[in-house]
Amino acid sequence: MKKLLTITAMAILCCIFAENTQAQAFQKGTKNLNVGLGLGYGVGLNASFDVGVHELISVGVGGAFSSRNYGYLVNDYRVTYIGLGVRGAVHIGKFVNEALGIDDNKFDPYVGLAGGFRIVDYNDAYSNYYGGAAAGIFVGGYAGARYYFKEKIGVYAEAGFPYTSLGVTFKF
């Protein structure tokens, strides 16, 4: 009886976690987590999470952080950037991959728009006269692509405003 329960449990788990190896790189229901390094306000860290809501469209959230120290003679100062926002993209792989003969299971090109809130803080270690913070809304566009070298793990690159990034992507 114990063996039967073990075999049944294993069979159920295999069915639950079975993956379709013929899936496209992007489709409705696809969830992607991007984690990477960004360029824009110095080198920083960024992350985004997107969900496919349509065969060609994803929506998600993203955030970025960077902090950079500058020094000149006796002055030392730091600029810190924090941005949080929402994003949406149109995944054009269905058209691009077919036209170029690229494997649709591995390559996911997309273009999108992002918007949100950002804070830029400036600190001068030498005097209290210079420094301060600014906050405001940002809107920008981006173009990017993901390439999956494993079924659920790949690399991504995005170029846009206000941030450009590259890193690792995970598909759920």
CATH number, domain with residue 65: 2.40.160.20
* pLDDT tens-digit readout, 9-20: 454 444 344 444
* pLDDT per residue as tens digits for the range 41-66: 678 999 999 999 999 999 999 999 99
Domain count across the chain: 1
Residues 92-101, mean pLDDT to the nearest whole number:
86
Please tell me the predicted confidence (pLDDT) of residue 15. Answer: 39
In this prediction, residue 161 carries a pLDDT of 74
**Residue 11 lies inside a defined structural domain of this protein:** no
Q: Is residue 13 part of a domain?
A: no
Average pLDDT value for residue range 14-33? 65
Give domain status of residue 12, yes or no: no
Q: Mean pLDDT over residues 150-154, rounded?
A: 93
pLDDT of residue 3: 52
Rg (C-alpha) for the chain, rounded Å, is 21
Place of tokens 């159920």: 12
The CA-to-CA distance between both ends of the chain, in Å, stands at: 35
Res 19: pLDDT = 44
Q: Is residue 134 part of a domain?
A: yes
pLDDT at 91: 94
- Whether 157 maps to a domain, the answer reads yes
E-assigned strand segments in the chain: 31-39, 43-52, 57-72, 75-91, 107-124, 131-148, 153-160, 164-171
pLDDT of residue 24: 67
d(CA 29, CA 18): 16
Query: Is 102 within the bounds of a domain?
Result: yes
The domain containing residue 135 runs over which residues?
Answer: 23-171
Considering the entire predicted model, what is its pTM?
0.77
